[in-house]
Amino acid sequence: MDVHNQHGSHAYKQAEVVVIMVPFPCYSHLNQVLQLSCLISTYNIPVHYACSTTHVHQAKLCFNATNRLSFAQIHFHEFPTPPFLSPPPDPNSKFPSHLIPSFEASLQLRDPMTEFLHKISPMARRVVVVHDVLMAYVV
């Protein structure tokens, strides 16, 4: 909310708490973090969902299909999707090794996340970062 201080210049009213959600870039992780984001936002707590552009779009498509995002107040922050090769799935492997390049590319989100956290920090008395354990290296 924009307010003026006693000298007439613009100042911003700080929120008590702002929550930053950082999902792992894999569909099931994106979806669960977005569900939690919706729940938190129902308490009038500003929620910021931050991930690569590709994965934010993927998460929003699922939720828009169920119309849950229309009620949530979530701010989406899209970081450039780092380039990576995506090999075809190996039907002989139980582990989805074709996803490894995507996960490795997410390492490049550390700098954009750092910039974002520095930008958002002055807006609140407390910044709570909720991240997937697999994204600890990014946060």
Active site residues: 29, 132
Residue 122 one-letter amino acid? P
Contact 119, 20 (CB under 8 A): no
Q: Are the C-beta atoms of 124 and 16 separated by less than 8 Å?
A: yes
- Is the distance from CB of 42 to CB of 36 less than 8 angstroms? no
As a whole number of angstroms, the distance between CA 12 and CA 79 comes to: 25
Cα–Cα nearest to 126, from 8, 42, 18 = 18
